[in-house]
Amino acid sequence: MSMFSDTVVPIAKTSMMFAEAVTKDIPADQFGRKPDGVNTNCPAWVIGHLGAYPGWVVSMLTGTAPPEDPETQAMFGHSSECKDDQAGTIYPSKDELLKKFNAGMQAVIDALPKASEAALSAPNPNEQMRDRFPTVGSLAAFMVGSHNMMHLGQISAWRRCMGLGPCM
């Protein structure tokens, strides 16, 4: 393992542990709900959004083609909008969303120690994010760390709005 993966893998694992903690006691029928009078992202959108990107990160680390999933991108991509899923018909189930997120994150964790120095130091292929994250390595670290934790914090705030209280 490299110093990079020694540093980033624990961060990725921590974000997975926090995702488990912040979602474990949310009733499945509330996972897609927005609080009354508060325009915030619901857990279904957050976990779906975070589950939409690990395949892309793995593709950058391994030099493979990124997954094509236009349906997921339309529902959970960076330009999508969270909807209040009152009837439970808009988003996949809580279990499905968490399974995809966890499998994707585990794939990134598995790919990180195998990523070559050349792959990690390659220019970030995402032009919109290149100024902030100039290399694949810096973007990968952001995606499994800060990006995840930022959005998981939205679930933490959502919990309070819904009367569930803190998860830790």
Please provide the DSSP assignment of 120-150 as one string. HHSBPS-GGGTTT--BHHHHHHHHHTHHHHH
Domain boundaries, the chain: 3-161
Residue 52, classed as helix, strand or coil, is coil
In DSSP terms, 118 is beta-bridged to: none
User: Nearest Cα to 94, choosing from 14, 24, 16?
Assistant: 24
Residues contacting residue 91 through CB under 8 Å, at least 6 positions apart: 31, 32, 44, 45, 48, 75, 85, 97
What is the structure's pLDDT at 66? 87
* CATH 1.20.120.450, applies to 3-161: yes
What tokens does 94 get? 């809580």
Distance from CA of residue 160 to its chain's centroid?
21
Residues contacting residue 36 through CB under 8 Å, at least 6 positions apart: none
pLDDT 10s digit of each residue in the chain, 168 long? 689 999 999 999 999 999 999 999 999 999 999 999 999 999 999 999 999 999 999 999 999 998 889 999 999 999 999 999 999 999 999 999 999 999 999 999 999 999 999 999 999 999 999 999 999 999 999 999 999 999 999 999 999 999 998 888
What is the structure's pLDDT at 2? 87
What is the structure's pLDDT at 1? 61
